[in-house]
Structure 1
Amino acid sequence: MSSEILVRPQPPAADGTFLTVTPQSAGWSHVGFEAVALAPGQVAERPLDGRECCVVVIQGHVNVRSDHGEWTDVGGRPDPFFGTPDAVYLPPGGSVVVEGAGDGAEVGLCFAPAPNGGVPARRIAAADVPATKRGYDRHERIVHDVLMVADPAESLLVTEVITPSGNWSSYPPHKHDRDALPEECLLEETYYHRVTPADGFGLQRVYTDDRSLDETVAVSDRDLVLVPRGYHAVAAPPGVALYYLNVMAGPVRTWAFQDDPALAWTRADGATTDLPIPKEHGSR
């Protein structure tokens, strides 16, 4: 049975690209995402045209070159479950070249339209990415806000989440599919998953009030889930930890969501408090 929301990785292209989502392939208007595995010295180049881009180093090291500047030895995590990421933000114009450095790397290329020219290019150092605990009990998780509302960009919102073994995240299930500020904003979203151990799996559900969309999928290492509309939540089975990289964008760059009324009560006192945690951490 085919899925409306699950995108599987493909054999790598010559430049290391193994997963691609465009607005055209997703059937929406804003978010694009690519996952690329780069050997040392291997190069992936992308035109930026009218798009801004956030290069997130999921693991390893890269060099980044563009019409807006160059940055060497970006990254450093041995895997996505340890510490916060290095990233580079680029506005539209020209192209971006990402080159594998050190022992190579895996990167996420996050795209969204920037018709007003974006903001100045910059490196986002891992030391400047906050790591916080969100939720409580079995929906406690670790959040890395790479490029969220407080950080300059035109359209893009980018964050990472690590869900420890046996826990839930993106919980309670919530949605952001209506242009109805201040109560709710319209944001398309992708979830790029990494799983440890790599032969484990996670679960993600995406569903609407009328159940015109209601899918629960098992996600394997390097799968991607589209969230075009509806509530969504993620679960990590016992013995398995999940990482995902979220990319969001819509007509207004803000983050306002609505919980599923049936489960909104689980957002108890303390559930929305962000608590800082040490910079170096793991969730194996």
Structure 2
Amino acid sequence: MTTTTQPTAAASGAGATARFKADKSAGAAGASNERVDLLAREVLGAVHNTIRKHKVTYAEYNAVKAWLIKVGEDGEWPLFLDVWIEHVVEDVATEHRKGNKGTIEGPYYVPGSPDSGSSGTIPMRENEAGTPLIWTGRVTSTDGSVLAGARVELWHADDDGLYSQFAPEIPEWNLRGTFTTDAEGRFEIRTVRPAPYQIPTDGACGQLIAAAGWHAWRPAHLHVKVSAPGHELLTAQLYFPNDEHNDDDIASAVKPELILDPQPGPDGASQVVEYGFVLDPESV
């Protein structure tokens, strides 16, 4: 295990909030007044119906109100929304696709990771903990044509379940890298197999988990964004077989099509896996 100072929920939340503001907040201006009116009324109506159905008391209402305030104080809105809401948004947004299945992005994506070409090792510390993993694959379009120059952005947690740029004492681009497919659409990535981890539990989201009697575990996973000109961006997480939390992921993000099949490497110490991507062309 790598020894680091454990991040607090507030610090991780603040980092995720700042990253969202820098990278995605501008996209929030795209909704029409009519859609905002429709969605806001239906969401509020569902809340009102729940209150009436379960005869919510003022004590319960005030407990929820205090908890919502704490979510904001802890900066945990990105975590809350990405863990419990995003998987449904992703299902709806990509239900038309004929290529690869995707899943949630999560709160810890950072653009601009170092490019290692079509074959390389992701940035990592010397003696990075974890089983060495060699991942090869090919990127094609839904018609079978090769997508040379496609970008595969990879990021994942370390053996302690921590992400660079969201936890202290970890190099800036640790376990974050971009790979570009060769003329045959192929790539080869050398990394380490990540470990399962719990989402931060010392903040507001942890309070909800404890109060509801849930667990906080996410199965081990690799995050990817795969892109090519003229094609829809694919965001996904890739999982490993026999993880005890594949069936009860706190983020409800695991899909059968996203589970890898790693095999022992020729050196007996590493694992190798073949997994490629089929991208959907952008609609005209």
TM-score by length of 2: 0.25
TM-score by length of 1: 0.25
Q: Which has the higher contact order (CA 8 A, sep 6+)?
A: 2
Which has the higher Rg, Structure 1 or Structure 2? 2
